[in-house]
Chain A
Amino acid sequence: MNDELRNENESMQGLYDNLSKISLFKKIKFLSKLNFAKAKANIIFKIKNLKKDTRIAERAWRIVELSRNEKRPKTTDYIKNIFDDFIELSGDRLSSDDKAITTGLGKINGRTVAIIGHNKGKDIKERIEYNFGMPNPSGYRKSQRIMELADKFNFPVITFIDTPGANPAIEAEDSGQASAIAKSIELMFKLKVPTIVVLIGEGGSGGALALAIGNYIMMLENSTYSVISPEGCAAILWKDQSATKQAAAMLKLTAKDMLNLNVIDKIIHEPKGGAQNDPERMIKILKDNLIIVLSKFDGLNGEDLKIQRSNKFESLGFFEK
């Protein structure tokens, strides 16, 4: 099975490598004895498809790279520049404070909201401090504490998603990574306040989803949302790292894909070339959008918000009936 996978994969790679006209000519010449017209059409079709696939793969990969760009505004930038009177709240009240997630309260347009966001950090020092935005169970438990606080005092919850995924580590597993994520998802379905989710960079798997149960979900144009990283997917399904870009295309992880699949409600357009080119403008655009969405959901009946949220997620899926 593995060998079979590898062989198919090698032959695909071979086709990519042999895209030059000479090899095409040779192939056509070789096959001409059999059925020239048919073979030619077939090869041209294959090459066209390969070229198209390559183009799609490159486009998907460009967005993956943009979503991970270090210069993109991070959760801390949005917090600092969107919310007034922000106070960071720390700790899970069990054992620790996970810096991979920042939580707190602040005001937007005069309204107090709870803010929860993955923290990737902007330089190497920060990135290490924040563990590259990969939370431990403690981070999700801290988030749950803040969500409960918000629910109690009727503050809408705004989350910023930007993580490669939950921290894959022995201690994280030992302290219940799986249950921390599941509990966080469950709690978000119970909240009677609006939950507004913004994917600002990398939306990596369960570690992202844990904070992404929104009444309304927005996604920046060059952010991604995926069940697994393209690298991980290539390693598992293709058993070959060189298939990473193909995997990125296959996974359908861009904002446009999410809108097509009904996973998000809105794409937020970024400044030309990406948010990193004009962070200030990006922050302003997002702030304007947040104010509009908040005004749409704020004050709605808590039960109605719960029902809207669960209907939205329970309707996701494609199958034959």
Chain B
Amino acid sequence: MADFECEKCKKIIDLDIFLKNFKVCPNCNYHYSLNSEERIKLIADEGSFNEIAANIKSIDFLNFTDSKPYKERIIESQKKSGISEAIITGYAKTGGFNIALGVMDFNFMGGSMGSVVGERIKLLADLSIEKKVPLILICSSGGARMQEGIVSLMQMAKTVSAINKVKENKILYISVITNPTTGGVSASFATIADIIIAEPQALFCFAGPRVVKQTIKKELPSDFGLSERNLRNGQIDLIVNRKDLKEKIINILKLFLN
């Protein structure tokens, strides 16, 4: 009952151990995805997270309908994920340090970036400047939200502009890459961080494996876009196991803040 088969290594895993292990397979170290609530629990000191910008909500300004109207997709995603949008932002503490924390949630329309993700990140960046506290963004996204057309692409520019100001104010910005972080998010705020941390085996690329494979019509290397390959290629600073993530962030903050 409490056991299940790991998707990655196919070993039978004890659910209790798995959950205690922050949803990481104790056998193969595969990091399963966390929702935003679990992420906040992982990073922020207990009870320290205060959400901001929760009132910013998506609207279907293009009347976009594919197989379903965007309007319906928004409501469905809110029901399914229990959260209001693909990123939750707020003021928090970690290891006693004040931080501005944004956590993306893949359960909300694949963590896709539309106007709300852009605006919430902008407001969080503004907060980080106003309070002079480091900005930390936990990334998880399939890219831009197509249902918002060109305006979703513009959120790449909007978030970079807002975070550029954080950096120009000499405030530390750390991004944490979790599986998967691709497309518009990878080519905007995720990669302009002062320090880029990635979880093991997280997919982090601009063009996804499917698109690249289709274009070049060849098999891809098995580690295409994964953290370990990105580290070798100089695209990220360090890979950190989930159980050590909070401690590692605190270590970094200590170097910058004292």
Contact = CB atoms under 8 A, between A and B. Distances in A.
Interface of B is mostly: helix
Interface in B192-221: 192, 204-207, 211-212, 215-216, 220-221
Contact of B206 (A166, A238, A253, A316): A166
Contacts of A310: 161-162, 164-165
A88 interface: no
A250 B65 contact: yes
A226 B164 contact: no
B133 to A, nearest CB: 20
- Assign chain A's interface to a size class: 35 or more
B233 to A, nearest CB: 5
B178 interface: no
Contacts of A4: 67
B67 A321 contact: no
Given A168-B211, A173-B225, A178-B187, A227 B115 contact: no
Interface stretch (B87-95, B99-107, B151-159): B151-159
B161 A205 contact: no
B190 interface: yes
Contacts of B97: none
Contacts, number: 194
Interface stretch (B7-15, B19-27, B28-36, B50-58): B50-58
Interface stretch (B41-49, B116-124, B238-246, B248-256): B116-124
Interface residues of B, number: 63
B1 to A, nearest CB: 28
Nearest to B215: A168
Shortest Cβ-Cβ A-B pairs, 7 listed = A317-B115, A168-B207, A237-B66, A178-B186, A318-B61, A179-B191, A181-B187
22 contacts: A174-B233, A177-B187, A177-B207, A178-B191, A179-B235, A182-B188, A182-B190, A182-B192, A185-B160, A186-B160, A189-B160, A205-B153, A206-B184, A213-B157, A227-B184, A237-B66, A237-B146, A253-B149, A316-B118, A317-B118, A319-B57, A320-B56
